[in-house]
Amino acid sequence: MKDDFADLAVLDAYKWWIVSDFGFLQLTGVLDEHGNDGLEIGRFDKDAMRRIARAYTVSRNIPSHEGDAQASTLAALLSGADLAPALRLPFAERAVALTEFVNANPVKLASKDESQPIEKKIASAITKLTWFLQPDDWTIFDKYVGVAVLRREGTGSKQMLSYYAELAGEWRKISAGLCEACAVHGFNRRLGYRIVDKFLFLHGIGMYVPGTRKNGEPRDVLDKKSRLADRFASASVAPIRDSLHSFASALPTDLNARLNQLGRDAASVLAAANWIKDPA
């Protein structure tokens, strides 16, 4: 079985794994210096958290004024003993617990007129940062994966909870299948969780079409009527597709062959999921 998005998801997940994810999991102690399992629940300080947040484009949502005090507080909360039990929960329960954490711990953004600070709930950032503390049985949330599954835009805690609720029914079967496929082909099994994210992310990207803002500036606009067959060829996916194909062409032949086989196996696993649908 061939699935173009599954192939791209495998390549994108592997690219991020060797460039960022593997090193970040070592940084938090989840993997040791040799890549073996380390801490059950990882830890990070403010600086390590910032490094991960920058790579995953959520650093801008964590205010840096007053000596980066809020980042220090957030890093301590995420690495603290109080949150650790939530990170050990099964998928659906972890989603609920992290949503409660998001709602209870907004960051405070400085207002432009220097009046009262504006509180912001950083749902996507929390799901991403905590993946690096406990990646097992988890996937991250952002605008694009939410759009792919829910067919509506949003990055808040309500969208976050709805997204995980939609995944929950088939999550264990699909994620286990992907993790097993990764291990069979000689990759770290946790790459399977990243393949889920990249697969949904790419579908979400493919639902956007070129448009304009009210002031005439170009912007991507969500096409809620987009069909599965059209997304891979969309203008939004094209540069990612071309970049990943270029990346793959530079890999050693044997590694490329293993990634191709993993792509086929991932397609078979993901075909059993009911997360992505054409509009009614």
In this structure, which long-range contacts are made by residues 94-98, counting pairs with CB atoms below 8 Å and at least 24 apart in sequence? Answer: 94/137, 94/138, 95/160, 95/161, 95/164, 95/165, 95/168, 96/161, 98/126, 98/127, 98/130, 98/160
Read off the pTM: 0.94
Secondary structure E strands in 100-146: 107-109, 118-120
* Cβ atoms < 10 Å from Cβ of 32: 12
Tokens (6 digits) for 219: 């912007």
Alpha helices in 28-120 (DSSP H): 46-55, 65-79, 84-87, 91-104
> On the CB side of 174, how many CA atoms lie within 13 Å of its CA?
23
- Give dist(CA 239, CA 245) in Å, integer: 10
> Structural domain boundaries of the chain?
4-270
- Give dist(CA 272, CA 208) in Å, integer: 25
pLDDT in tens, the chain (280 residues): 456 999 999 999 999 999 999 999 999 999 999 999 999 999 999 999 999 999 999 988 887 766 678 889 999 999 999 999 999 999 999 999 999 999 999 988 766 666 677 888 999 999 999 999 999 999 999 999 999 999 999 999 999 999 999 999 999 999 999 999 999 999 999 999 999 999 999 999 999 988 877 787 888 899 999 998 889 989 999 999 999 999 999 999 999 999 999 999 999 999 999 999 888 7
Q: What is the pLDDT of residue 117?
A: 76
**How far is the CA of 196 from the CAs of 53, 116, 134, 141, in angstroms?**
20, 40, 16, 11
- Triad 266, 269, 274: Cα angle to 5°: 125
* Cβ atoms < 10 Å from Cβ of 164: 23
